[in-house]
């Protein structure tokens, strides 16, 4: 089953021995980050820090730190469960492109278990405590100063809600949030993000933008906030689809937005046009510090919580981190969508070491000359896949998740004077390697077998790969115990 709220999931993990309570006092300045980073890299348990210095609020960390835990949180055996459902949803009408994907999800609106449902404030646990005016104090919340050169303390798992001022379409995004003072937080809205566009529209209209930030949400909602959905697909519809049940929503107290009724903490405020403060540096998921830049500064007018709330956060930095399972689930979930847009694709892999956007390994059933190059350019034109810096194309008989196999193909099957494509295009806002911000060089490597029509005219054609004789291999398998090995 999927879990209705964070605390019920934590109880389930504790029953299984997969949650560790830390009862001694810990310092959110560097100490918590060091503990969590070590536990993450060891594939250790979820952590609940019960005594965080300077805060009465417990802090849940490493909650989605393994694929097993994330699967359990979403009520799945594996991410392939949802991939199969998405694939089945897309197949009957053969929709084309993102419009078809949106329409396919739109059909689910008539299914009782998918669209979010509204509840009254009295039935929303997150409205058990309401703080306004002088009672608002963000310093009571355990923000993390994770790495030595960070520019301050950050909330790293706040789910940010905004609406397009023109269309009214809402967006749920996940952005780091720097705590500037008791009532102000920095909104790290990168150039490609929907919330940044909403703020720009509001500023153009001379209006304030309502913002709500929820912490400790139901696991399916938290996952949906990380998924790179097209802008016109409601993340709460997707969360309901993943969890197999409707998400309970409640109207905010002071802004015209809705948030999960079963969240732990919600911050509400209005963003004034042009209100900017220096944000960062920050040790980000790239493993490098991102520089200080001016970003919108949001004033918090209202905080709502449960009676005994807890906060959820993550530590990012040099991989592997908790980003790993989240990124791998997105990779699997969206394979059917990518196949709709680019039917040539057999499978793909987004290496965590590449931050899930710097590199794509893709396999194809090659049918004609320059088929690999066609797929490269299709990927660079596919929504947020446009940020990919390196694409490696291999044949269908290559396991894209076996990096040893992929390296063997990429290192052995390539004539770099012919099989390397170099282009320029958009890159991630956080990319530090590009010589100017937001765009830079990209490369595609054709590691497929080469055809005579592509100019490979050597005698005998493309060579066969070395492989065992099937009959001998079967005989050796049968006799293996006889060898005493």
Q: What is the CATH number of the domain that holds 426?
A: 3.40.1670.10
Q: State which of 312, 334, 366 marks the end of a domain.
A: 312
**Range of weakest confidence among 110-114, 186-190, 268-272, 405-409:** 110-114
- What is the C-alpha separation between 480 and 25, in angstroms, rounded? 56
Domain identity same for 276 and 237:
yes
Is 15 found in the same domain as 162? yes
Residue 99 has pLDDT above 80, yes or no: no
**Mean pLDDT for the chain?**
92
Q: Per the structure, how many domains does the chain have?
A: 2
483 found inside a domain? no
**Do both 285 and 410 map to the same domain?**
no
In eight-state DSSP terms, residue 28 is: T
Is pLDDT above 80 for 469? yes
**337 in any annotated domain:** no
Where is mean pLDDT largest: 99-103, 330-334, 469-473? 469-473
271 and 356 fall within a common domain: no
Give the dihedral of Cα atoms 442, 446, 447, 452; nearest 10 deg.
-160
Decide which of 312, 330, 353 is a domain's last residue. Answer: 312
- Asked if the model's pLDDT at residue 108 lies above 50, the reply is no
Residues forming the active site: 284
Closest CA to 288 of 443, 434, 142: 434
Distance CA 79, CA 63 (A): 17
- Are residues 305 and 404 both part of a single domain? no
Question: Pick from 376, 328, 330: which is nearest to 352 by CA?
Answer: 328
Q: Which residue has the tokens 């996952």?
A: 223
β-bridge partners, 294: 278
Instruction: Average the pLDDT over 135-152 and give the result.
Output: 97
Q: Which of 271, 292, 312 is the last residue of a domain?
A: 312
Beta-strand pair 117-118/248-251: parallel
Same domain, 33 and 175: yes
453 DSSP assignment: G
Q: Say whether both 163 and 285 belong to one domain.
A: yes
Domain that holds residue 236: 6-92+113-312
Is residue 482 a part of any domain in this protein? no
Same domain for 302 and 348, yes or no, is no
Helices (H), 334-431: 335-341, 371-380, 403-412
Asked if the structure places residue 13 within a domain, the reply is yes
Q: What is the CATH number of the domain that holds 254?
A: 2.30.110.10
pLDDT tens digits for 336-360? 888 988 999 999 999 999 888 899 9
Does residue 153 sit in the same domain as residue 201? yes
99 lies in some domain: no
Q: Please tell me the distance from the alpha carbon of residue 192 to that of residue 188, in angstroms, as a whole number.
A: 11
Q: Is the pLDDT of residue 109 over 50?
A: no
Nearest to 286 by CA among 388, 189, 355, 352: 355
Q: Is residue 427 located within the same domain as residue 306?
A: no
Per the domain annotation, does 139 fall within a domain?
Answer: yes
Tell me, yes or no, whether 308 and 358 share the same domain. Answer: no
Tokens of 4: 């209705």
Q: What is the CA radius of gyration of the chain?
A: 24
List 270's β-bridge partners, or say none: 210, 299
Examine residue 61 and state whether it is found in any structural domain, yes or no. Answer: yes
List Cβ neighbours of 45 (8 Å cut-off, separation of 6 or more). Answer: 13, 17, 18, 19, 20, 39, 62
Tell me what pLDDT residue 105 has.
Answer: 55
Q: What was the pLDDT predicted at 95?
A: 46
Same domain, yes or no: 307 and 347: no
pLDDT at 94 over 50: no
Q: How many angstroms separate the CA atoms of 448 and 178, rounded?
A: 46
Show the tokens assigned to 71: 């699967």
Q: What is the pLDDT of residues 221-256, one digit of tens each?
A: 999 999 887 766 789 988 998 888 899 999 999 999
Q: For residue 107, tell me if it sits in a domain.
A: no
Alpha carbon distance 117, 135 (integer Å): 30
Per-residue pLDDT band at 92 (split at 50, 70, 90): very low
The DSSP-derived string for 183-197 is: SEEEE---TT-HHHH
* Residue 435: pLDDT over 60: yes
CB atoms within 10 A of CB 193: 20
For the chain, what percent of residues have pLDDT higher than 90?
Answer: 80
What is the predicted pLDDT for the residue at 407?
A: 97
**51: pLDDT confidence band, cut at 50, 70 and 90?**
very high
């Amino acid at each position: 089953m999927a879990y209705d709220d964070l605390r019920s999931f934590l109880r389930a993990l504790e029953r299984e021995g997969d949650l560790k309570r830390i009862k001694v006092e810990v310092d959110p300045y560097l100490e918590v980050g060091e503990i969590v980073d070590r536990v993450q890299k060891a594939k250790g348990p979820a952590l609940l820090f019960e005594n965080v210095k300077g805060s009465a609020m417990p802090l849940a960390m490493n909650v989605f730190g393994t694929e097993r835990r994330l699967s359990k949180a979403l009520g799945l055996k594996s991410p392939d469960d949802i991939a199969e459902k998405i694939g089945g949803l897309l197949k009957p009408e053969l929709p084309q492109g993102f419009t078809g994907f949106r329409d396919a999800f739109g059909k689910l609106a008539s299914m009782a278990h998918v669209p979010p449902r509204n509840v009254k404030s009295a039935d929303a646990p997150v409205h058990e405590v309401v703080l306004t005016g002088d009672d608002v104090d963000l310093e009571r919340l355990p923000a993390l100063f994770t790495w030595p050169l960070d520019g301050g303390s950050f909330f790293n798992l706040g789910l940010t809600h905004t609406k397009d001022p023109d269309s009214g379409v809402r967006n749920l995004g996940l952005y780091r949030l720097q705590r500037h003072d008791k009532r102000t937080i920095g909104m790290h809205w990168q150039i490609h993000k929907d919330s940044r566009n909403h703020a720009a529209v509001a500023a153009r209209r001379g209006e304030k933008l309502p913002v709500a930030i929820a912490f400790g949400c139901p696991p399916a909602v938290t996952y949906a906030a990380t998924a790179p959905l097209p802008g016109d697909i409601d993340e709460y519809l997707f969360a309901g689809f993943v969890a197999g049940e409707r998400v309970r929503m409640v109207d905010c107290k002071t802004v015209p937005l809705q948030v999960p009724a079963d969240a732990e903490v919600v911050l509400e405020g209005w963003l004034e046009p042009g209100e900017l403060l220096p944000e960062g540096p920050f040790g980000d998921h790239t493993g490098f510090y991102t520089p200080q830049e001016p970003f919108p500064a949001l004033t918090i007018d209202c905080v709502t919580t449960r009676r005994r709330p807890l906060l959820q956060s993550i530590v990012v930095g040099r991989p592997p981190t908790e980003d790993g399972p989240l990124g791998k689930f997105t990779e699997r979930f969206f394979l059917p969508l990518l196949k709709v847009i680019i039917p040539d694709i057999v499978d793909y892999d987004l290496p965590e070491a590449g931050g899930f956007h710097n590199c794509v390994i893709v396999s194809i059933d090659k049918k004609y000359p320059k088929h690999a190059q066609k797929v490269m350019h299709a990927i660079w034109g596919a929504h947020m896949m446009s940020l990919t810096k390196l694409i490696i194309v291999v044949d269908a008989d290559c396991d894209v998740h076996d990096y040893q196999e992929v390296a063997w193909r990429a290192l052995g099957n390539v004539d770099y004077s012919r099989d390397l494509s170099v282009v320029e295009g958009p890159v991630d806002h956080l990319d530090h390697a590009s010589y100017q911000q937001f765009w830079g060089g990209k490369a595609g490597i054709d590691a497929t077998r080469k055809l005579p029509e592509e100019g490979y005219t050597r005698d005998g054609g493309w060579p066969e790969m070395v492989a065992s004789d099937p009959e001998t291999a079967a005989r050796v398998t049968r006799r293996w115990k006889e060898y005493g090995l």
